[in-house]
Chains A and B, each alone.
With several copies, the nearest count.
Chain A
C-alpha cells in the first residue's frame, strides 16, 4: 500500500485528429503503453450544425478521443506537458486532462504489481 499515491492515471480528452500526434510524442518519450476510447463530449465548444432533408439540427456532443496513460507519479508532469504541447490548437474544444489516483496496478500476464507492471 506504500505505492498507493505513486501511480496516476492521466486521462486526456483530445480532438480525434490529434491522436496520431499525441501517440507518437508519448511513444518518443518512452510512454508507449496507453488505452484509447472514443467518447463524445461538450464543454465550452458549441455543437456541430448538420443537415438532414433540408433541415438543420445540432449535434451538441462532439466526437472526442480519450487517451489514458497510467504512469508513476514522478512522470505525471512530463506526460501532461507532452500531451498539452501536441494536443493544443489554441481553439475552443482542445480538451481537458484529468489526473486520477491509482491504488494498485497489476499485469494480468505475470501478476507483477505497480512499477514493474507498467
Chain B
C-alpha cells in the first residue's frame, strides 16, 4: 500500500504538473501563431515601406529627366520641355491607374496581355503598393520619349502618344516579362518561347521593359517627327548647344540616385538581401560608364566632353538594370564600360549615319544600352543559386555564355528583339 500510495501521489503530482502544463503549451501555441503572424506582417510592412520609398526615388527621376532635357537644349524651349515632362508624369499616373495596370497585371489573356482590374477595382493595400511602384516605372518609360522628341513636338500630339504608351505599348511588353503568369510570352513556364529557348527571359528592373521600350518608341517618334530646324545642313549634323549644364548635371545625379530605388526595389521584397548586390552593381556600372565615355571623348576630341560623360553615367545605369542582380561586381564594371562606349558610338551613329536628331541622346542611352543590358544578362549571368547567387530568388535562371550556358543568351536575344520590334513598330503605327 505504501508503494501504491507513493505511486498515487506521484501520479497525482504528474497530473497536476500536466494539467498546469497542457494549457500553458496550448497558450504558447497560440502566442507562437500570433507571433508568426506579427513577423509575417512586419515583413510585409518592411516591403511596403521599402517599395514606397524606392518608388519615391524613381519618381525623383522625373525631376532628373526634366533637368537633363531642359539643360541640354536651348533656353527658348525650356517651358515647353518642362510642361511636357510634368504632363508625362500626370498622364502616367492617371492612365496607368485607368488602363495600364489592368493590361499589365490583370487576368492573363493568352500570355499576351492582361484584362481586369481596370481603375484598380477591388484593390487593397498590397495592390496600391504594387501599383505605385509599377506606375512610377511606367511613367519613366514614357518620359524617355520626351527627351528624344524635345524642341519640336506638338504638345497635343505628344500627350496622346504618351497616353497610348502608358496604356498599351508599355504594359503589353511588361505583361510578357513581369506579369508572372504561366503563359507570359517571354518568362512564363508555359510559353512557347521559353520552352523553345530552354530558359526564361530575365529583365531584373527593366533594361527592356522600361528603357528599350522607351528608347525605341523614341526612335520611331524621332523618325516621324524629323530633325529640328537647322539640325542638318546639307545632310551634315550641326551643333545646337544646350543652355544650362548645371541643370543637366544635377539631373544626372538625381537620375543616378533614382536608380537606387529603380534597381534596389526591384526584388519587390524588403527582406531580400540581394537588393545589396543589385545596388552595388548599379553604382559600379554607372561609374564605369562615365569614366569610359569621358576617356573616349577625351581621346577622340582632345578634351573630356561633359554632356557625353553625363550620358555615360546613364548608359551604365540603363545597361546594368537588367543584369544587376545576376552578375558579379567585375562584370558590372565591364558592362558599364561597354555601355559607355556604346553611348558614344550610338550618338555619333544616330547623327552621322541615321541622320536622326536626338537632342539629349535618349535613343542611344535607353534604346541601345537597354538592348546591351538585356544581352549582358545572357553573357555574364552567374545563374540563380550558383556562387554569389546562392539563396537568390530573383535572378537570371541559367548561367550566361561566360559561365558555359547558351540558353539564357538565346532567350535574351529573343526578348531584346521583341522589345525593339514591338516598341518601334507600334510606335510608328501610332504616330502616323
State yes or no: do A and B touch (Cβ within 8 Å): yes
B241 touching A54 by the CB < 8 A rule? no
Contact B305 A57 (CB under 8 A): no
What 0/1 pattern do residues 50 to 72 of A give for CB contact below 8 A with B? 11111111000000000000000
Tell me if B344 and A54 are in contact (CB < 8 A). yes
B333-358: CB near A (< 8 Å → 1, else 0) gives 00000000000100110010000000
Q: Which residues from 100 to 152 on chain B have a C-beta closer than 8 Å to any C-beta of chain A? A: none
Is B400 interfacial (CB-CB < 8 Å)? no
CB-CB under 8 A from B237, the residues of chain A are: 55
Inter-subunit contact A53/B305 (CB<8 Å): yes
Contact between chains at B301 and A51 (CB < 8 Å):
yes
> Which of B241, B344, B348 is the one whose CB lies under 8 Å from A52?
B241
CA A1 – CA B348 in complex, angstroms?
A: 57
Whether A54 pairs with B238 at a CB distance below 8 angstroms is no
- Taking a contact as CB atoms under 8 Å apart, the answer to whether B361 and A53 are in contact is yes
Closest chain-A Cβ to B176's Cβ sits at a distance in Å of 34
Interchain CB contact under 8 A, A51 and B344: no
The 0/1 profile, CB within 8 Å of A marked 1, for residues 156-200 of chain B is 000000000000000000000000000000000000000000000
Please state if B347 and A53 are interface contacts (CB–CB under 8 Å).
Answer: yes
Residues of B within 8 A of A53 (CB): 239, 305, 307-308, 347, 361
Contacts of B238 in A (CB 8 A): 57
Q: Is the CB of B307 within 8 A of A56?
A: no
Cβ-neighbour of B308 out of A50, A54, A56, A57 (below 8 A):
A54
Alpha-carbon separation in the docked complex, A50 to B79 (Å): 13
Complex partner residue of B300 from A50, A52, A54, CB under 8 angstroms: A54
Min Cβ gap A1→B in Å is 41
- When distances are taken between beta carbons in the complex, the residues of chain B under 8 Å from A52 are 239-242, 305, 307
Contacting residues of chain B (223-269) with chain A, CB-CB under 8 angstroms: 237-242
A57 touches B297 (CB 8 A): no
Taking the closest CB of chain B, its distance from the CB of A40, in whole angstroms, is: 15
- Alpha-carbon distance A52/B241, docked complex (angstroms): 6
Contact between chains at A54 and B347 (CB < 8 Å): yes
Residues of A within 8 A of B (CB): 50-57
Question: B residues touching A (Cβ–Cβ < 8 Å)?
Answer: 237-242, 297, 300-301, 303, 305, 307-308, 344, 347-348, 351, 361
Q: A52-B305, A57-B241 are in contact. List 7 more A-B contacts (CB 8 A).
A: A53-B305, A53-B307, A53-B361, A54-B308, A54-B347, A55-B351, A57-B239
A–B Cβ pairs within 8 angstroms, 11 of them: A51-B301, A51-B303, A51-B305, A52-B240, A52-B242, A52-B305, A52-B307, A53-B308, A56-B301, A57-B239, A57-B241
